[in-house]
Amino acid sequence: MDALLIATFAVAACIIAVTLKDWQPNIAILISAAAGVMLTVYIVLGFVPYISSITAMTGIPDGSIYMTTLLKAVGICAVAGTASDVCRDAGQNALASRVDIGGRICVVIVSLPLFSKLLEEATGIING
- Asked if 89 and 32 touch (Cβ cutoff 8 Å), the reply is yes
- Asked if 49 and 79 touch (Cβ cutoff 8 Å), the reply is no
- Asked if 53 and 17 touch (Cβ cutoff 8 Å), the reply is no
The whole-number pLDDT of residue 1 equals: 65
Report yes or no on whether pTM surpasses 0.85: no
pLDDT tens-digit series, residues 94-117: 999 999 999 999 999 999 988 888
* DSSP collapsed to 3 states, 65-87: HHHHHHHHHHHHHHHHHHHHHHH
pLDDT tens-digit series, residues 41-94: 898 888 888 877 777 777 776 667 888 888 889 889 989 998 999 889 888 999
pLDDT tens-digit series, residues 30-54: 998 899 889 988 988 888 888 777 7
* CA angle, residues 98, 109, 102, in degrees to nearest 5: 5
- Residues in Cβ contact with 61 at an 8 Å cutoff, skipping those fewer than 6 apart: 55, 67
